[in-house]
Amino acid sequence: MKQIIFLKPVLKESLWGGTRLSEYGYSLPSDHVGECWGVSAYASSCCTVSGGKYQGRRLDDLWINEPELFGVDKEKGPKDFPLLIKIIDAQDDLSIQVHPDDEYARVHENGACGKTECWYVLDAKPGASIVIGHHAKTKEELAQMINEGRFRELIREIPVKAGDFFQIEPGTVHAIKAGTMILETQESSDITYRLYDYDRLQNGKKRPLHTQQSIDVIRTPFEPKEIRPVTCSMPSAKLTKYFDCRFYTVYKLEVEGSADVPLSGMFHTMSVIEGSGYLDGSRVEKGNHMVLTAGYGTMHAVGKFTAIVTRV
């Protein structure tokens, strides 16, 4: 039976966070909230169900004990929920960082998975930019530039605007910079190697760097990933596919009116990023995050809203 499982987000304070997540209807604990983990079964920051039959239960509990909701085989399927969906508010620059792939993480991070991720830019102030990639031609040049602190020369910085989409493969140097808000879809991993942090202090101390791990995993030379969105129009709705890989497929759904949207296969996640409406009679609005169960079939959407939809 098809179900919509609404989740209660987990909010995280950070050195670089701000207050803009309140625009999504969240009650913020401080003026330095950097992340909303909207769909998360990560052990230390797991979302709970906010209503209905499963109210109060953790997403990781549902994954283990109600596998039919997700269309997975309890014995053969992934042990852990595979996705993590965040909204990130960068009031200040995030550190320049890199993530390992699954193979490196299994060996060096106690069997954990790596981190493949992608960004949909929700908003960007005029002149905003992000870091994706670097200019070193060889591993030797990369290590030399890092060890000599030549980060301005090393990093590849590009302008960014609302509606842009970027795939961040493991081994890619990257950083979200001030004035940018993004929705991030990723493997369920929190492994980050900090390459450079602008010599900032937190509680009077510099945050630790992970120089050797970063050099180990950074792909050299950097090759930009070309994104070719494909849009399918239907009565009163548009569905744009941004990227498809073995970890996730990411879409943007835009509804204006009354639309029937087919959802097939395993479960989908949905994060409403603008507007409001109804999904099969359930009210949805900006800031809502949910799981639509496996084999959902046709979703009847009414209203005017935009959502990022992800399936595995």
Do 115 and 177 share a domain, yes or no?
yes
Q: Is residue 176 part of a domain?
A: yes
Residue 94 and residue 9 share a domain: yes
Q: Quick one: what percent of the chain has pLDDT higher than 90? A: 91
* Beta strands 117-124 and 48-49, pairing class: unpaired
Six token digits for residue 260: 């029937």
In a domain, 302, yes or no: yes
The Cα–Cα gap between 227 and 230 comes to: 10
Q: Give the residue among 43, 28, 39 at the shortest CA–CA distance from 6.
A: 39
Are 235 and 198 within one domain?
A: no
Q: Which pTM does this prediction carry?
A: 0.96
Q: Which of 196, 217, 238 is the last residue of a domain?
A: 217
Domain ranges, residue 237: 230-311
Whether 137 and 255 map to the same domain: the answer is no
Residue 194 among the catalytic residues: yes
18 pLDDT above the threshold of 80 = yes
**For residue 290, is it within any domain?**
yes
Is the pLDDT reported for residue 203 higher than 90? Answer: no
Rg of the chain taking only CA atoms, in angstroms? 20
Average pLDDT, the chain: 95
Asked whether the predicted pLDDT for residue 6 surpasses 90, the reply is: yes
Based on the fold, state whether residues 304 and 212 are members of the same structural domain: no
Helices marked H in 148-269: 151-154, 211-217
How far is the C-alpha of 65 from the C-alpha of 61, rounded, in Å? 6
> Has residue 113 been placed in a domain?
yes
**Does residue 223 belong to any structural domain of this protein?**
no
Closest CA to 299 of 275, 312, 267: 267
Q: How far is CA 133 from CA 114, 130, 153, 247, 268, in A?
A: 18, 10, 12, 21, 30
Q: How far apart are CA 36 and CA 22, in angstroms?
A: 10
Catalytic residue selected from 57, 58, 194, 207: 194
Domain-located, residue 222: no
CB count within 10 Å of CB 38 equals 28
225: in domain:
no
Same domain, 50 and 114: yes
* Helix (H), strand (E) counts: the chain: 5, 22
Looking at the DSSP bridge assignments, the partners of residue 97 are 174, 194
Q: pLDDT, tens digit, for every residue of 149-189?
A: 999 999 999 999 999 999 999 999 999 999 999 999 999 99
> pLDDT tens across 246-303, in order?
999 999 999 999 999 999 889 999 999 999 999 999 999 999 999 999 999 999 999 9
Residue 41 CA to residue 60 CA, distance in Å, equals 5
Number of separate domains in the chain: 2
| pLDDT in the model for residue 264 | 86
Both 18 and 60 in one domain: the answer is yes
- On whether both 63 and 190 belong to a single domain, the answer is yes
Residues 90 and 237 grouped into a single domain: no
Find the mean pLDDT for residues 60-76.
Answer: 91
User: For position 242, which CATH number holds?
Assistant: 2.60.120.10
**One domain for residues 195 and 243:** no
- Please choose, from the candidates 290, 287, 293, the residue with its C-alpha nearest in 3D space to the C-alpha of residue 305: 287
Cβ–Cβ < 8 Å for 107, 213? no
> At which of 161, 192, 217 does a domain end?
217
Handedness of CA 53, 55, 57, 61 (dihedral sign): positive
Is there a single domain that holds both residue 136 and residue 249?
A: no
Contact 37, 87 (CB under 8 A): no
d(CA 308, CA 201): 35
Tens-place pLDDT, residues 121-132: 999 999 999 999
Angle at CA of residue 239, ends 235 and 245, nearest 5°: 155
Could you give the 3-state DSSP secondary structure of residue 24? helix
Which residue, 133, 117, 244, is CA-closest to 170? 117
Using 50, 70 and 90 to split pLDDT, how confident is the model at 73? confident
Q: Has residue 187 been placed in a domain?
A: yes
Domain boundary among 217, 242, 271: 217
b (16+ CB within 10 A) / e for 234-244: eebbbbbebbe
Looking at the structure, do residues 141 and 176 belong to the same domain, yes or no? yes
Identify the sign of the CA torsion 19, 25, 30, 33: negative
